[in-house]
Amino acid sequence: MDRNIKVIALGGLDEKGKNCYAIEIEGDIFVIDAGVKFPDKLTPGIDYIIARFDYLFINKDKVRAYFITHGHDEVFGGLPYIIRKVPAPVYCTGVTKFMIESFMLHNHLDLNIEFNIVKSGDSVMVSGRKISFFGVAHNIPQSLGLAISTDYGSIIYIGSHIVNN
């Protein structure tokens, strides 16, 4: 029985960018998105601001996979910077894979990433856990939400969203 479930926001709360969540279930960590935030006038000379990945560095042996929900840099831009120290397979759509590879080329990052292409309606098993993908409305093609199964029901993630007042 899944008695130990943690949902940890590593970035992306109350800001635009740096989206990154770690879902830990019985010692297995599933990372959803790994984005960047673009600098503002208070951070001159900085190209990208990434989430605090310390938790993933400390628990790198528990990370089972990265799930990238769509092809915006605030969702995937930190991936090349974390995956080199915390390797795991990446699940995303074909469009998102193309965007990640273009970002890496633009930033002169040469990495061998294990991509697993998924689409809306697909389900995969990762570390004995069912992960299901569904389409969401967003302004980039092939955007996905996902559901991670647990004994208590599914943990649902719908991708990045911003609520403005």
pLDDT tens for residues 41-79? 888 888 888 888 999 999 999 999 999 999 988 889 899
Tell which wins on pLDDT, 38 or 145. Answer: 145
The mean-pLDDT minimum among 11-15, 43-47, 86-90, 155-159 falls in: 11-15
Q: Give the max Cα distance, the chain.
A: 49
- For 95, other C-beta atoms within 10 Å of its C-beta total 16
- Enter the pTM of the model: 0.92
Pick the closest to residue 144 from 123, 113, 115 (CA basis).
Answer: 123
Q: Label residue 112 by pLDDT band (50, 70, 90).
A: confident
DSSP class of 77: T
Answer yes or no: are the C-beta atoms of 56 and 16 closer than 8 Å: no
Distance CA(23)–CA(34), nearest Å, equals 13
Question: What type of residue is 144?
Answer: L
Distance CA(112)–CA(115), nearest Å, equals 9
Strands, sheet with 123-126, edge to edge from the N-terminal-most edge strand: 123-126, 129-135, 144-150, 153-157
Alpha helices (H) along 18-165: 54-58, 73-76, 79-83, 94-106
